[in-house]
A = this chain, B = another copy of it.
Amino acid sequence: MTVSRVINNSGYISQETRERVELAIAELGYVPNALARSLRFKQTKTIALVLTDITNPFFTTVARGVEDTASEQGFSVMFCNTDESQDEEAEYLNVLVQKQVDGVLLVPAVSSSESVTFLRERGVPFVVLDRRIPEVPVDTVRCDSELGAYQLTQHLLDLGHRRIAVLSGPAAVTTAADRVKGYCGALEAAGGTPLVVYGTFTQEGGYRMAQQVLSAAPRPTALFAANNFIAIGALRALREAGLRVPEDVSVVAFDDLPAAIVINPFFTVASQPAYEMGQRATALLLDRLNGKETFQAQEIILPTQLIVRESSAPPGS
Chain A residues close to B by CB (< 8 Å): 29, 31-36, 38-39, 44, 46, 53-55, 57, 60-61, 63-64, 67-68, 71, 76-81, 92, 94-100, 121-122, 202-203, 228-229, 232, 235, 257-264, 266-267
Contacts and interface: CB of A to CB of B under 8 A. Distances in A.
Contacts of A260: 55, 202-203, 229, 232
25 contacts: A31-B97, A31-B122, A33-B39, A34-B95, A34-B98, A34-B99, A35-B38, A35-B100, A39-B39, A54-B63, A54-B64, A55-B61, A55-B64, A55-B258, A57-B261, A60-B60, A68-B81, A71-B80, A71-B92, A76-B80, A76-B95, A202-B260, A229-B261, A263-B263, A263-B267
Contacts of A203: 259-260
A89 to B, nearest CB: 12
Closest CB pairs A-B (n = 8): A34-B98, A203-B260, A34-B99, A29-B121, A78-B78, A35-B100, A60-B60, A35-B39
Contacts of A71: 80-81, 92
A75 to B, nearest CB: 10
Contacts of A97: 31
Contacts of A261: 57, 228-229, 232, 257, 261
B55 A44 contact: no
A61 B60 CA distance: 10
Nearest to A83: B68
A219 B45 CA distance: 54
Given A31-B94, A35-B100, A71-B92, 12 more contacts: A31-B98, A31-B122, A33-B98, A33-B100, A44-B99, A53-B64, A55-B260, A57-B57, A63-B79, A67-B80, A232-B263, A263-B263
Contact of A29 (B32, B80, B122): B122
A32 B78 contact: no
Q: A39, A76, A267: which has the most chain B beta carbons within 10 Å? A: A76
Contact of A79 (B35, B67, B94, B232): B67
Nearest to A75: B95
A54 B46 contact: no
Contacts of A35: 35, 38-39, 44, 99-100
A126 to B, nearest CB: 15
Contacts of A57: 57, 60, 261
A121 B16 CA distance: 27
